[in-house]
Chains A and B, each alone.
Chain A
């Protein structure tokens, strides 16, 4: 593991077939034919580099971290903290102490809502989210607003699925205490101008949390440039293991935050009875319980893997593929693309068909070896606003190529034959 991984290949374009070979799930004997996985917005397969790094932890260096004094425990601790530093560089944080390992992006957001915002939120205060939030960056804020009798308000969307910032003049008003915004929508694929928004918010002294779950796998993150106070993402959506996520918080913000969970490893001195206990320093204060060292190591291996592919190249490949998919879907009679999907700026294209339910399309596609998603994508406030209850969604990654789009289009046409004749 190195802290600043350079792309292994300096050519301009990605070779999807070569990248695909890094992922054992696509060559496993359980796959009778080519498996067209197009559900990356939900979760991503794992490359051997990640799988092996985790397996090595258990096979070669496994011991309690931050606790044992014998050599293997020291090595395990060092691997865990090395993973934190790898991720620090991956997102451009000033210090490793600004990174807290969590179970998921969801847990990270809940920690901020309950541990930072709740004690500061008063009756009548306003918290803003966008109309396109995933439930995980919506419900924690809704709950805390309900508890504190504050208001939760939406930044609505324009016709083409962008944030309607011009239509939200009260965004930086005095009662605004917090803004939570997704970097990339998991339904529309819209990339939001988070750096502009965070920079302005900072001028007004309003903290912003950016949900980077959908952007981390293909957009280079730089928290200093983005100017956010908090940022959250999970490992499993960027080729890393399931069950671990990350909260970035500016040091002064984390210092203000109360721990959501207490227990082993997060405390310096424990008081007798009703005597007060003293919490450990940041970030250990927020990592109660035995930390997930193999998960953290796998997480860092995923960051290294992505860096070795090169963010720019990955992003270009995914966007051009998604645009091609959108163009070809549009040509199918009855298909309607969701706003902004006409020219996707990320790896997601959502669509509906006037005569087929998304679940039926996804079922037929699934049986043809094409994995797409159907449903509300945990974004009910958005779908309600769009007048929809469910969509089909294809989301692309670095090893997808035109043959995956061919298979998707064939599957939708097959579904039409089944349902529309």
Chain B
């Protein structure tokens, strides 16, 4: 298989069978935020469900390339059960890792996100990874305001 470096099997599995994806509008979430990349038309909506200070559950809906969908799917698994504060830190680490601000940030990330590492070699695709994470950070901010 070509492109195996970028499209790792884990990533493809998340793309083909995304976790926590809604076909319709996300219902009853504590906050829903949307991220869009007008360059490629990708759009991801992230809905967070809170329990006290923790993220109980995350759902997403939207359309995008394989990397965008896989990243959103992995996100929903990676943050379920984390504290809100811990999730915020994770969003920042993802931003630093993919923005090449902190190349070592990858080492701190959970195993479930390591399949995204290869995307760092393709600067044009980094936004595909970060779209859902930026929407998640916005959703946390929104929930905090409400």
> In the complex, what residues of A have CB within 8 A of residue B24's CB?
none
- A192 in the interface (beta carbon within 8 A): no
The answer on a CB contact under 8 Å between B3 and A357 is no
B12 — nearest CB in chain A belongs to which residue? Answer: A418
- B15 in the interface (beta carbon within 8 A): yes
Q: Which of B27-35, B37-45, B109-117 contacts A (4 or more CB under 8 A)?
A: B37-45
A390 CA / B41 CA spacing, docked (Å): 6
By DSSP majority rule, is chain A's interface helix, strand, loop, or mixed?
Answer: helix
A360 CA / B6 CA spacing, docked (Å): 10
Chain A CB within 10 Å — which of B16, B40, B64 has the most?
B40
Closest approach, in angstroms, between the C-beta of A409 and any C-beta of chain B?
Answer: 14
The answer on a CB contact under 8 Å between B3 and A359 is no
Closest approach, in angstroms, between the C-beta of B7 and any C-beta of chain A?
Answer: 6
Q: Which of A13-21, A76-84, A372-380 contacts B (4 or more CB under 8 A)?
A: A372-380
> In the complex, what residues of B have CB within 8 A of residue A383's CB?
41
The answer on a CB contact under 8 Å between B6 and A363 is yes
> In the complex, what residues of A have CB within 8 A of residue B2's CB?
364, 367-368, 414, 418
Binary A-proximity of B113-142 (CB < 8 A = 1, otherwise 0): 000000000100100100000000000000
The answer on a CB contact under 8 Å between B38 and A359 is no
By DSSP majority rule, is chain B's interface helix, strand, loop, or mixed?
Answer: loop
- B80 in the interface (beta carbon within 8 A): no
The answer on a CB contact under 8 Å between A375 and B66 is no
Given the interface pairs A389-B41, A419-B15, the reply to whether A359 lies near B65 with Cβ below 8 Å is yes
The range of chain A's interface size is: 20 to 34
Closest approach, in angstroms, between the C-beta of B143 and any C-beta of chain A?
Answer: 29
> In the complex, what residues of A have CB within 8 A of residue B3's CB?
363-364, 367, 418
- B107 in the interface (beta carbon within 8 A): no
The range of chain B's interface size is: 20 to 34
B37 — nearest CB in chain A belongs to which residue? Answer: A389
> In the complex, what residues of A have CB within 8 A of residue B68's CB?
357
- A417 in the interface (beta carbon within 8 A): yes
Contact among A356, A390, A418 for B40, CB-based, below 8 A? A390
Closest approach, in angstroms, between the C-beta of A146 and any C-beta of chain B?
Answer: 20
- A358 in the interface (beta carbon within 8 A): yes
- B108 in the interface (beta carbon within 8 A): no
A98 CA / B42 CA spacing, docked (Å): 44
- A388 in the interface (beta carbon within 8 A): yes
The answer on a CB contact under 8 Å between A380 and B38 is yes
The answer on a CB contact under 8 Å between A418 and B1 is yes
A358 — nearest CB in chain B belongs to which residue? Answer: B40
A333 CA / B54 CA spacing, docked (Å): 45
Closest approach, in angstroms, between the C-beta of A82 and any C-beta of chain B?
Answer: 41
B122 — nearest CB in chain A belongs to which residue? Answer: A363
> In the complex, what residues of A have CB within 8 A of residue B7's CB?
360, 364, 418
B68 — nearest CB in chain A belongs to which residue? Answer: A357
Binary B-proximity of A404-421 (CB < 8 A = 1, otherwise 0): 000000000010011100
The answer on a CB contact under 8 Å between A357 and B38 is no
A388 — nearest CB in chain B belongs to which residue? Answer: B41
> In the complex, what residues of A have CB within 8 A of residue B125's CB?
359, 363
A216 CA / B122 CA spacing, docked (Å): 33
Closest approach, in angstroms, between the C-beta of A366 and any C-beta of chain B?
Answer: 9
The 25 listed contacts between A and B (C-beta, < 8 Å) are: A356-B66, A357-B64, A357-B68, A358-B65, A359-B40, A359-B65, A359-B128, A360-B65, A360-B67, A363-B3, A363-B125, A364-B3, A367-B2, A374-B40, A376-B40, A380-B38, A388-B41, A389-B40, A390-B40, A390-B41, A414-B2, A418-B1, A419-B15, A419-B16, A419-B66
By a beta-carbon cutoff of 8 Å, the part of chain B in contact with chain A is 1-3, 6-7, 12, 15-16, 38-42, 64-68, 122, 125, 128
Given contacts A376-B40, A419-B12, A419-B15, 11 further A-B contacts (CB under 8 A): A356-B66, A357-B40, A357-B42, A357-B66, A359-B67, A359-B128, A360-B7, A375-B39, A376-B38, A390-B41, A418-B1
For the complex of A and B, 4 pairs with smallest distance between CB atoms: A389-B41, A357-B65, A359-B65, A390-B41
